[in-house]
Amino acid sequence: MNTTHKPIIGITCGEITSKTDPWTAITHGQSQTYINSVIQAGGVPLLLPITNDAGVLCTLCDMLDGLYLAGGNDLNPKLYGQAPLPVTTDYSDLRDMAETILLERALETHKPILAVCRGMQLVNAHYGGTLIQDLYASFPDGLDHDNSNKLKTLVDLSHVIRLQAGSKLAGILGDGEIGANAHHHQAIDKPGRGIVPVGWASDGVIEAVEMPDYPYLVGIQAHPESLIDVEPRWQQLFASFIAAAQQGKR
């Protein structure tokens, strides 16, 4: 079967350390749900290694038709001008560096970008925005944005996202609200330059952003790659991302 016409989508990886054999080498990997979301939408997923070699990363990025900034651990707060709070301990300077290089190259070459959870936060920090380092500490009476983790499920629709009418995202998913899971303890505080919030939880936490002045950049705080079967509208997000990547191949 000839699949060369399908757009290649680079998916950023996380660093995985063996708890049973901590002496072994760190593994670079990502959840199957990210891979499936690309394949189901008609793209070809390519997992991107974590390295500080800018030449390697730029070469890889130039091979791509779209960049998928995946979720994972926290960002180092130095990226948005803050010192880490006691709850912000799970971050990787190497991953931050690698993904920043990939993001900058993708932006330079106008590639479509889909940014999920940590990915959305990275984009915001790159443009000078800030994060709330711990939602519970800042908003103890707000929603539990880590509820899906507590329930140990990927497919929990813990809350809804209210979408901004007339936004790119509302045009993709439809106006109104959409169900979402909750796997995060941080969120965007001050939006970065050109970053426009277009989705909110009922407690006001920013759940989705886009860049109107960029061909295709959408950020989602939830994990829609896990929700396609329980909320099929999320498939439209991945379809739009792959369509934008396909358009860039022409």
The residues annotated with a catalytic role in the active site are 117, 223, 225
**Which phi and psi (to 5°) does residue 81 adopt?**
75, 25
Instruction: Show the 3-state SS of 86-112.
Output: CCCCCECHHHHHHHHHHHHHHHHCCCC
73: buried, middle or exposed (CB in 10 Å: 19+, 13-18, 0-12)?
middle
Half-sphere exposure of 193 (CA within 13 A, CB side): 4
| Interatomic CA distance for residues 59 and 64, integer angstroms | 9
